[in-house]
Structure 1
Amino acid sequence: MINRIWFGGSRWYWLLLPFSWLYGLISGLIKLGFRLGWRNVRHFPVAVVVVGNLTVGGNGKTPVVLWLVEQLQRRGWRVGVVSRGYGGRSDHYPLLLDTTTTTGQAGDEPVLIFQRTGAAVAVSPRRADAVAALLAHQPLDVIITDDGLQHYALGRDIEWVVVDGLRRFGNGWWLPAGPMRERAGRLRSVDAVIVNGGTALPDEVLMQLLPGDAVNVLSGQTCPVTELPAVVAMAGIGYPARFFATLRALGVNVEREVSFADHQSYGLDRLVVLTTTHQTLLMTEKDAVKCRDFAQPNWWYLPVNAQLPPDAIPWLLASIEHKIHHYNQ
């Protein structure tokens, strides 16, 4: 229902407009408080890059973070990542991730980033505390914050916004009448707008998500995803329809699609009933990190990687490296 209101052209959004105006007023006052110095902004002697979005839901932000971490690591920079840790609950914050950290403690996206990149990762509801914990633990050249565009208590040097190129901003209204955390005019103040699929507007960078081979959650075995038999596809992400559309475009034999809420927690009983012994359960990598401890032999995931235009990469990274050099002087 809410997706029809936000993205489907439904006019019932007007019933929620008073709450949206209140949301816009409160968020605007908070932002003004930081701008005028009434509220403290915490700065650090290291380059801080925010990768965020203006809307709620899945825009492809985490693949961009993974891409950026790996690009900077290849250039020899020491990279740390901080996150709010949505979907996780720790008995203490900030939480520095290690090989024993679970998604129940840190949330799915931080664990995915840690496992994929090996970067130093910390989570905290107060992202500045996470940055401080990382810097106290080891020297770093750059901090990337996964989400947090609206977390103005953390000073930042560079802001990237990821936009869903198909759905864009829906009806354009603040929550809850629309999907917006901030209005689209905020794009004028950021350093880069990266568009996930669809069509990029002038001065935007078009990104594509490229799937790799399917990976068995239990064994790590890989195979072309089209060779998996009788697939039941599941996704607990912000926009599951994108995952299912990707599978259809690849020609995967999908017999059923199952959607879960974003950051959904799983157990064996919840997932084992989705397939028969002759079917394959295919999930996103974000789902897979929550299922490794009880994975079954017929469970697979499909990793995706962000691909950005080659001509955009030099200037995207140059601005970050300029900031890194500035702090290292």
Structure 2
Amino acid sequence: MTLRQTLEQQWQEGGALATALRPLGALTGAVAQWRRRHLQGRVASIPTVVVGNLGVGGSGKTPLVAALARQLSAAGWRVAIISRGYGARPPHWPYRVQRDDSPQQTGDEPLLLAQEQERTQAVYLCPDRHRAITAAAADGYNLALLDDGFQHLALQPSLRLLVFSGPRPLGNGHCLPAGPLRECPDAMLHADALLMDAAAAAAIPERNGPPRFLFRIQPKDLVAVNDPTRTRSLDSLQGQHVTAVTGIARPQRFVASLEGLGAIPAPRFFPDHHPFCASDTAHLPRPLVMTAKDAVKCREFAQADDWTLRIEAELEPSFQPWLEQSLLPWR
């Protein structure tokens, strides 16, 4: 078991190690509060919308970023998605992701976002998000969508959106390393809106603060990993034994999604952001189903019966007019 897995187990079970780490967690929270009160970020040359979360691990942020990019494009914005580029090795910084780049060069999530976007959208990588936004503005984009930027205080965004998902969206309520939070729960008051799935909305009490909007992650179909033009309907999963391959932060959700679609999955879990190679999957029973984030790393060696479960985030109808109204000052 890795250190991360040990800590996550402690957070969930309230173990002795998590309890012993609470003074360090309190220090993490205090430092985060000080930074948010005293650091003054720069204002970018174009409006910026930050999508982030309070905790570590997956929260459905990537499909939400893709959905937001579609909504903003439909409202007439030329959208540039900005990513820190964690683990990426591009030829230079900032770097505009190309559809045929390798995941080793760009990272899996930025490449997935680049392959899903329309011509009015682009994905830029740079640890200095301000430089990436400047490059996007120079290329003619007029709105920046920051993926995982809520704690990036070097930039003063136009809008801050916080994402929560699952039945324990705040974990055990403690900050790292005593819990999964990067900041104290009260940091959500600095957001302009909270985006929640139904489970998170039930777990976080309503109070005065930012408006709340519901979203759901909806499976759409199965797409062949080695040929995106080949698809299968979700009905084809009924009663089907499949190998569920995933290298994401919360793999149980993926397995539960397949079970909800009537499949009988045999899980094969890899670490989050695992750099897949042919030997990882060659011996596994087919058909094989994986997430889109994993599929971008397996396309070159995928077999004919390897499939991606394509999903999309759907936001409640009232969010779109709120978003457009909130961005009116920058029109």
Q: 1:32 to 1:191 in 2, by over 3 A?
A: closer
Which runs of 5 or more residues in structure 2 are unaligned? Answer: 1-5
1:212 match: secondary structure: strand
CA–CA distance in structure 1, aligned partners of residues 281 and 11 of structure 2: 30
- Scaled by the length of structure 1, the TM-score of the pair is 0.90
- 2:214 is equivalent to residue 209 of structure 1: no
Amino acid at match of 1:117: Q
Q: Tell me the CA shift for residue 292 of structure 1.
A: 1.4
- Judged with a 3 Å threshold, the aligned counterparts in structure 2 of structure 1 residues 192 and 11 are, in CA distance, closer, same or farther, namely farther
Give the Cα–Cα distance (whole angstroms) in 2 for the partners of residues 147 and 76 of structure 1: 23
User: Which structure 2 residues correspond to residues 248-259 of structure 1 after superposition, within 5 A?
Assistant: 248-254=259-265, 256-259=266-269
Deviation at 1:11, TM superposition (A): 4.8
Indicate the SS of the match to 1:140: coil
> 1:160 deviation in Å?
0.3
Offset from partner CA, 1:104-143 (integer Å, 9 cap, x none): 121111111111013211111111111112122x112211
Distance 2:143 2:199 in 1: 31
Aligned pairs for 1:1-329 within 5 A: 1-35=6-40, 41-118=41-118, 119-136=121-138, 138-200=139-201, 201-202=205-206, 203-220=211-228, 221-228=230-237, 229-254=240-265, 256-273=266-283, 275-276=284-285, 279-320=286-327, 322-325=328-331
**How big is the shift at 1:199?**
4.9
- Which deviations, in whole Å up to 9, do the C-alpha atoms of 1:278-315 show, x marking residues without a partner? x2110001111111122211211001111121133321
SS in 2 for 1:303: strand
Question: What is the rounded CA distance, in whole Å, between the counterparts of 1:128 and 1:223 in structure 2?
Answer: 41
* Moved beyond 6 Å, runs of 4+: none
For residues 130-158 of structure 1, the C-alpha deviation after alignment (integer angstroms, 9 at most, x for no partner) is 1112122x112211000111011112010
Alignment size in residue pairs: 314
**2:3 maps to what in 1?**
none
Displacement of 1:191: 0.8
SS in 2 for 1:198: helix
For 1:314, what is the secondary structure of its paired residue? helix
Q: What letter is aligned with 2:181? A: M
- SS of residue paired to 1:46: coil
- The one-letter code of the counterpart of 2:148 is D
**Partner of 1:38 in structure 2?**
none
Residues 160-208 of structure 1, C-alpha deviations (whole Å, 9 max, x = no match): 0001231211111111110001111011121111113415253422211
Contact 2:164 2:200 in 1 (8 A): no
Distance 2:96 2:158 in 1: 23
Larger displacement relative to structure 2 (198-207 or 209-218): 198-207
Tell me the amino acid that sits aligned with residue 51 of structure 1.
Answer: V
User: 1:252 and 1:324, CA in 2 relative to 1: closer, same or farther beyond 3 A?
Assistant: farther
Contact 1:212 1:302 in 2 (8 A): yes
Unaligned stretches of 5+ residues in structure 1: 36-40
Kept in 2: contact 1:46–1:143 (CA 8 A): yes
Instruction: Note if contact 1:69-1:79 (Cα within 8 Å) is conserved in structure 2.
Output: yes
Structure 2 residue matching 1:111: 3-state secondary structure:
helix
Deviation at 1:269, TM superposition (A): 1.1
Residues 169 and 200, structure 2, Cα contact 8 Å, conserved in 1? no
- The residue identity in structure 1 corresponding to 2:231 is T
Amino acid at match of 2:129: R
Tell me if the contact between 1:141 and 1:324 (Cα under 8 Å) persists in the aligned partners. Answer: no
For residues 291 and 281 of structure 1, the distance between their equivalents in structure 2, rounded to whole angstroms, comes to 12
- Residues 83 and 147, structure 1, Cα contact 8 Å, conserved in 2: yes
Are the equivalent residues in 1 in contact too, given 2:71–2:320 (CA < 8 A)? Answer: no
Quick check: 1:23–1:174 contact (8 Å CA) kept in 2? yes
CA 1:170–1:199: 2 relative to 1, 3 Å? closer
Q: Could you tell me the TM-score, scaled by structure 2's length?
A: 0.89
Question: CA 1:23/1:108 → structure 2, altered by over 3 Å: closer, same or farther?
Answer: same
State the Cα RMSD in Å: 1.8
